[in-house]
Amino acid sequence: MSKILINSTPFDVEIQDVGVTVPALSSYTIPPQDYSTFAASSNIVTLIGSSGLLLNDGGNDITNISAAIDIIKGWPVQAGAASTPFFFDYGGLITGDLPVSIIFYTVPVGSTLNITNLSISCRIESISKVFKNGEVIADLRTGAARPDASFYWNPNRELISGDTLEVVLTKRSGTTDVEIGAHLMGVTT
């Protein structure tokens, strides 16, 4: 299966974190040796999610955003139940030394949320803890040498109606104030 990015806009689309620009009204075929680089890209998720780029698998345009992102990430694409892509972004300045809740979400009644990825970007030492219904299920660490951290959700875990998901970031004591970013991605059914 090929992975072809189609830019149908009249503007060049730059995928900054992989160093590739897809020219206006053109396409770019991702070389197989670069699949892992694109799978780790947060920019590609945003661009596909905002319809800035469309994915083609070598024969078909993948118009389902969730399926397109799954293909880019190298995950199996699941057919069946109607689903809606879920995105939650946080960006802000973290001050002080106390833990900060950067994401808090309660799954609506009648819904199920399957989280596929959580990415945190913080240029200083920090730890982010992921809580499901108040219990720690994962942690991510960042630092100057590794400013970005990702958590790939176990596909067998899902959040059902009424479940809560919280991400709490704590930066190392005594460090300067810092801008952080968090991106949570998944599918609701």
- pLDDT category at 151 given cuts 50, 70, 90 is low
Confidence at 34, pLDDT banded by 50, 70, 90: confident
**% of the chain residues with pLDDT over 90:** 22
**With 70 as the cut, is the pLDDT of residue 51 above it?**
yes
Structure confidence at residue 13 (pLDDT):
94
The answer on 88 and 48 residing in a single domain is no
Last residue within a domain, chosen from 73, 105, 124: 73
Instruction: Check residue 134 and give its pLDDT.
Output: 93
Among all chains, which residue has been given the structure tokens 């070389």?
Answer: 31
pLDDT tens, position by position, 93-139: 888 889 999 888 898 888 888 777 788 888 888 888 989 899 988 88
How many domains would you assign to the chain? 2
Confidence category of residue 80, pLDDT binned at 50, 70, 90: very low
Q: How far is CA 60 from CA 2, 6, 55, 67, 161, in A?
A: 10, 11, 9, 12, 34
User: Same domain, yes or no, for 90 and 117?
Assistant: yes
Predicted TM-score (pTM) of the model is 0.56
- 42, 107: one domain: no
For the segment 154-169, the average pLDDT, to the nearest whole number, is: 79
Q: Are strands 13-15 and 4-7 parallel, antiparallel or unpaired?
A: unpaired
Same domain, yes or no: 102 and 174:
yes
CATH of the domain at 89: 2.60.120.380
Last residue of a domain, one of 20, 39, 73: 73
The β-bridge relationship of strands 159-160 and 126-132 is unpaired
Domain span at residue 18 reads 4-73
User: Confidence band (pLDDT; 50, 70, 90) for 84?
Assistant: confident
Percent of the chain exceeding pLDDT 70 equals 91
What phi and psi, each to the nearest 5 degrees, are found at residue 71? -65, -45
Residue 79 inside a domain? The answer is: no
Report the alpha-carbon distance of residue 164 to residue 75 in Å, rounded.
25
Together in a domain, 62 and 109: no
Asked whether residue 40 is domain-assigned, the answer is yes
Does residue 62 sit in the same domain as residue 104?
no
Answer with the one of 73, 94, 122 that is the final residue of a domain.
Answer: 73
**Both 110 and 182 in a single domain?**
yes
Q: Which residues are within 8 A (CB) of 64 and not within 5 positions of it... i.e. 6 or more apart?
A: none
What's the whole-number average pLDDT of the chain? 83
What's the whole-number mean pLDDT along residues 154-181? Answer: 82
Residues 153 and 69 in one domain: no
